[in-house]
Structure 1
Amino acid sequence: MTMTKVKIGIVGTGFIATILAPQIQSSKKARLDAVSSRTLAKAESFVANYPGAIAVEGADHLIARDDVDAVYIATPTSAKEDVASRALTAGKHVLIEKPLHSAASFKRLSALARQKGLLLMDATHFVHHPRTSAMRQRLAALIGAPRSLHTMFYFPFSDRENIRFDPIDEPMGAAGDMAWYSMRAVVEYLAPDALEDIKVFAEWDPHSGAVIRATGVLQFNAGKTATFDVGYTAGAAVMELTVAGTSGILTQDDFVLDWQSGFGFDNPDIQTGFIHRSGLATRNDFAFIETPSERSQHALMIDNFADLIRNGDAAEREIWLSATEKTQVFLDAIWQEIQTQARASPAMTPQVNMRENP
């Protein structure tokens, strides 16, 4: 029996949409049905590479299509809640790019999704790779009780024409773009219940006023802590993660986009997995635990999204909603600290957009 594919429409034709579109198109569980942009010409140019996909002018026209089951929202953060709300109201499932505008914004969307009986999932791809679940399942056996987590995520990037340097459409800058992944790692591997204290230092681009680097420490309940260091200024691609427990540590050097099949990387000879070490182990004693996957984490995300639409498992959908909300709550705390710093040192923060989190 042939399985009916979930028909997905994409709102937005920017860089991130070009990454996910081929994963949707090649999925055995979903297919790319339509793409919208503010101009029809942009949508037509985008779908030229995807036979069968329809070009649509404007998000409303895509959302109104009867042949669209779900909408992937790849718009700037400033527009995400509006588009997602209209899609959910119209009865469409939603896959939404990170970060969200705020935790309050996400709570409104999740309440609407529950009311409509629809799936709302954020597009954090690394959590769909089998490595994430393998690490979670083996944490206690390998390192005891997790106590601290450090993440470092840098990509060299300086194109001020890019939306990442626009404090209006992407108000959190590098913090929203990159610290989101750090906070999602906190949710996945430390699983704290509450944030108790935080300190963040930020660097702003002097021309655009965008946040281009952020470093911070967070203290959670039960003595758990996390440190993060993210931005565009390191001059190299860095995606390191270390989670330390009472009897050992686990590390990854590609926690966001695995070297093997993350977009921008295609190295089938590099194994995906994590390193375990304990005691006084030297490099010769480090144990690499491989977590192979036949498909990329982006492709797995699309498949999982389609599966959750089909099975309608409300309890499993709640797990995704909870993880997204916690991630955004911690990210909001980072942004609020950055805003506090900006107010305290106005001479060091040119053109900073002091957006609150409604």
Structure 2
Amino acid sequence: MTKMNIGIIGTGFIAKILAPQIQSSNKARLAAVSSRTLAKAEKFVANYPGAVAVEGADQLIARDDVDAVYVATPTAAKEDVASRALAAGKQVLIEKPLHSAESFKRLSALAREKGLVLMDATHFVHHPRTAAMRERLADLIGAPRSLHTMFYFPFSDRENIRFDPTNEPMGAVGDMGWYSMRAVVEYLAPNTLEDIKVFAERDPQSGAVIRSTGVLKFDAGKTATFDVGYTAGAAVMDLTVAGTSGILTQDDFVLDWHSGFGFDNPDIQTGFVHRSGMATRNEFAFIETPSERSQHALMIDNFADLIRNGDAAEREIWLSATEKTQVFLDAIWQEIQTQARAVPGTDPSSKK
């Protein structure tokens, strides 16, 4: 099998996480890396034999030996870079979040026009656990009615791009809340958002959103609550789906403890917990969902497969999931902005 040649645009933290997964894949290889300066790109590729360092996104996009690009730029630049890649005939894997649902709609329309794959880089959905839990929802808990997620990483480096509202406008909401909304799409599968209430905390120096909590009401009486940010002093990745006859929980829904990046615990099995009735803790059932490869590696494999199989219906499934996630995220962000405008001195845009 000929490997898919992937180029990475951007040399930040997340690009460094995905590069080894690309290089170790049986279905893809790292062909090139671009940065705004050649020196940064050269430093990045030093550990990846065969990968070429390139200055600027346009030079990478123009390369004939690059079949697909991974857009790992700040959110403010994603649509521009991704649209140029698609226009040039490159398949695109793009970091989340997007700038807005409208931004993603423009990109997805271009991908359809060109007959190309556009996939967002939400990694947890590629772990077998996601499909296994989704497939067993009805059997284990009846009709899903509510979902709660709590996602915190202890983080306070104001020099990091997460604290830069110009490049990452949504702050922790875009960074962490994206996973909560994708879990809503995967496990609740609502059609429309009917009501929303959100609270946000901003960093007093940068104005970046560093914590947010909210509740969303969807069609058919489904609800979701989320609590995300950088301020809890611990890594928390809890998820609970409640149905009409039981609940399912995970305590590592974003990055599994077993092999999610930042974790290497072969003795911790990946799966989910089932509870029903008056079961006490020693009666909870842990359902294992093992995987020989990490969810990031599986994402690269699935991206390559989606390109090769040319299945238009499957491509639409991925596009739809991304759009719905971004729509719900946009609603959260709009609510935060509305509240900020209503309280003098709390809207960062008014300080410019």
Q: Pick from 89, 96, 99 the counterpart of residue 98 of structure 1.
A: 96
Q: Secondary structure at the match of 2:145?
A: strand
Q: Secondary structure at the match of 2:256?
A: coil
Aligned AA (1:43): A
Q: Distance in 1 between matches of 2:348 and 2:344?
A: 9
Aligned AA (1:26): S
Q: Does 2:144 align with 1:129? A: no
Q: Is the CA contact (8 Å cut-off) linking 1:171 and 1:353 kept in structure 2?
A: no
Return the TM-score normalized by structure 2: 0.99
Runs of 4+ in 1 over 6 A off after TM superposition: none
> What's the CA shift for 1:114?
0.1
Partner in structure 1 of residue 213 of structure 2: 215
Q: Is the CA contact (8 Å cut-off) linking 1:214 and 1:229 kept in structure 2?
A: yes
Q: Distance in 2 between matches of 1:353 and 1:192?
A: 32
Q: Which whole-Å deviations, capped at 9, do the CAs of 1:141-174 have from their partners, x for residues lacking one? A: 0000000000000000000000000000000000
Write the mapping of 1:85-234 to structure 2, written as runs, cut at 5 A: 85-234=83-232
Q: Does 2:14 align with 1:16? A: yes
> What's the CA shift for 1:193?
0.4
> What's the CA shift for 1:341?
1.0
Q: Is the CA contact (8 Å cut-off) linking 1:30 and 1:302 kept in structure 2?
A: yes
Q: Which whole-Å deviations, capped at 9, do the CAs of 1:298-317 have from their partners, x for residues lacking one? A: 00000000001111111000
Q: Secondary structure at the match of 1:353?
A: helix
Q: Pick from 340, 349, 352 the counterpart of residue 353 of structure 1.
A: 349
Aligned AA (2:174): G
Q: Secondary structure at the match of 1:331?
A: helix
Q: Secondary structure at the match of 1:346?
A: coil
Q: Distance in 2 between matches of 1:311 and 1:54?
A: 28
Q: Distance in 1 between matches of 2:223 and 2:153?
A: 24
Partner in structure 2 of residue 45 of structure 1: 43
5+ residue gaps in structure 2?
none
Identity %: 88
| Aligned length in residues | 351
Aligned AA (1:319): I
Partner in structure 2 of residue 264 of structure 1: 262
> What's the CA shift for 1:344?
1.3
Q: Which whole-Å deviations, capped at 9, do the CAs of 1:90-109 have from their partners, x for residues lacking one? A: 00000000000000000000
Q: CA RMSD in A?
A: 0.9
Q: Which whole-Å deviations, capped at 9, do the CAs of 1:161-217 have from their partners, x for residues lacking one? A: 000000000000000000000000000000000000000000000000000000000
Q: Distance in 1 between matches of 2:292 and 2:86?
A: 32
Q: Which whole-Å deviations, capped at 9, do the CAs of 1:196-239 have from their partners, x for residues lacking one? A: 00000000000000000000000000000000000000000000
> What's the CA shift for 1:260?
0.3
Q: Is the CA contact (8 Å cut-off) linking 1:7 and 1:68 kept in structure 2?
A: yes
> What's the CA shift for 1:277?
0.2
Q: Which whole-Å deviations, capped at 9, do the CAs of 1:239-286 have from their partners, x for residues lacking one? A: 000000000000000000000001110000000000000000000110
Q: Distance in 1 between matches of 2:20 and 2:74?
A: 20
> What's the CA shift for 1:353?
3.3
Q: Distance in 2 between matches of 1:261 and 1:352?
A: 38
Aligned AA (2:184): V
Q: Distance in 1 between matches of 2:348 and 2:321?
A: 29
Q: Secondary structure at the match of 1:10?
A: strand
Aligned AA (2:339): Q
Return the TM-score normalized by structure 1: 0.97
Aligned AA (2:244): T
Q: Is the CA contact (8 Å cut-off) linking 1:168 and 1:353 kept in structure 2?
A: no
Q: Secondary structure at the match of 2:16?
A: helix
Aligned AA (1:300): L
